Amino acid sequence: MAKPESTHQVSTSPDVSLDELQLAVRNHSLPLEALRYPITPIGMHYLLIHFDIPRVDPSQWRLVVGGHVRAPLTLTLDDVKRRPAVTLAVTLECAGNGRANLSPRPVSQPWLFEAVGTAEWTGTPLRPLLEAVGALDGAAHVVFTGLDRGVQGGIEQHYERSLTMAEATREEVFLAYAINGQPLPPQHGFPLRLVVPGWYGMTHVKWLRSITVVTRPFRGYQQEPAYHVTSTWDELGEPVTRMLPRSLMVPPGIPEFLPRTRQLALGRCILEGQAWSGWGRIVRVEVSTDGGNAWADAELGGDGGEFAWQSWRHVWDADQAGQFELCCRATDSAGNVQPLSAPWNAHGVCNNQVQRIKVVVAHELPPAQAPADGLAN
């Protein structure tokens, strides 16, 4: 099929253009030290927003559930909240996480390693709602349409994505109106968003306005050509679905403002972080302090639940001064292992290569600023 023109730009420079910077200052990733929180506080969870954040008047808002169904429904926000409620901790990661580490670099949101977060979402399960409207014979897919609107690939569109009926009716799929016990803030999809535990972030359509049952595969822009793994520009490739395993580490020591190199004094250091996969539980996290040559098993926390990241920790005896490159890698119960280097693809998606953190271990930290005692200067 013909690709819209803007789908496949790449840059051979590691430096990021002004256009990409415009995205980078709007969207944001998880500050890595926020991996210390099992549930990410609001404002530290990653955000990727294709167009503008809609400002929705909840009294005017309606959700239309229809299409190839027996009894279409139009629901107010109160109607949605009166339905059975579930609360679930879910880790969400952007499919483009890691993109800016690629060479050549697909031109889009320039994520490094940290486009992730774990929130406690509250909402109502989707399956009973689909049962209530009653899919007719031949119903095969469900399209989720957001209120957010813009132009991508030369096409004017609302953001929309679909799931097969089998995926949409899985027990864990729900429509969320709260995060961490609070109404969704605008940037997380107020008043209602889709949550599909285990899947990359593009699936969790925000600012829902309609859910439409259809008979044929949906081929809107965000479904295809976007969010596919393809190494050649002539092929559509494979659709992005569930999150590959990934582990991230809280950078130890203290940072330099710029660059973000870490400084650490000699001694015992606790390395800690989180790991997750959309394909199964994390069964192993390994840590390397020499850039990925030698690996040691980290201790798994056993926390996190079925769809949330699991904590890990490892004691590192940093008893030698010098420069170190710390890495961690996760293995899930399906046997997927994080690669040291992931195969390149044109959209820069599903890249779960291991994080690398440069640390300088020294006998002492750099010269300290004199304390503010009134005599110091």
Site for a copy of itself in 222-251 (CB under 8 A): 251
Q: How far apart (Å, rounded) are the C-alpha atoms in residues 269 and 1?
A: 53
Q: Does 216 bind a copy of itself (CB under 8 A)?
A: yes
Contact (CB, 8 A) for 113 and 80: no
Site string for a copy of itself, 330-349 (x = CB under 8 A): --------------------
Q: Which of residues 91, 135, 188, 204 is near a copy of itself by CB under 8 A? A: 188
Whichever of 22 and 333 has its CB closer to a copy of itself, that residue is 22
Contacting a copy of itself within 312-331 (CB under 8 A): none
Q: Which of residues 23, 64, 85, 266 is near a copy of itself by CB under 8 A? A: 23
Q: How far apart (Å, rounded) are the C-alpha atoms in residues 56 and 34?
A: 29
Report which secondary-structure segment, H or E, holds 166: helix 165-168
DSSP at 161? E
Q: Is residue 182 classed exposed, middle or buried when 0-12, 13-18 and 19+ CB atoms within 10 A define those classes? A: exposed
Q: Does 295 bind a copy of itself (CB under 8 A)?
A: no
Contact (CB, 8 A) for 172 and 27: no
Q: Which of residues 104, 263, 305, 358 is near a copy of itself by CB under 8 A? A: 263
Q: Which of residues 42, 283, 321, 337 is near a copy of itself by CB under 8 A? A: 42
Half-sphere exposure of 214 (CA within 13 A, CB side): 17
Q: How far apart (Å, rounded) are the C-alpha atoms in residues 149 and 176?
A: 20
Q: How far apart (Å, rounded) are the C-alpha atoms in residues 360 and 362?
A: 6
Q: Does 309 bind a copy of itself (CB under 8 A)?
A: no
Contact region for a copy of itself (CB under 8 A) — 17-25, 122-130, 191-199, 326-334?
Answer: 17-25
Contacting a copy of itself within 63-122 (CB under 8 A): 67-68, 100, 107-108, 110-112, 114
Q: Which of residues 152, 170, 172, 266 is near a copy of itself by CB under 8 A? A: 152
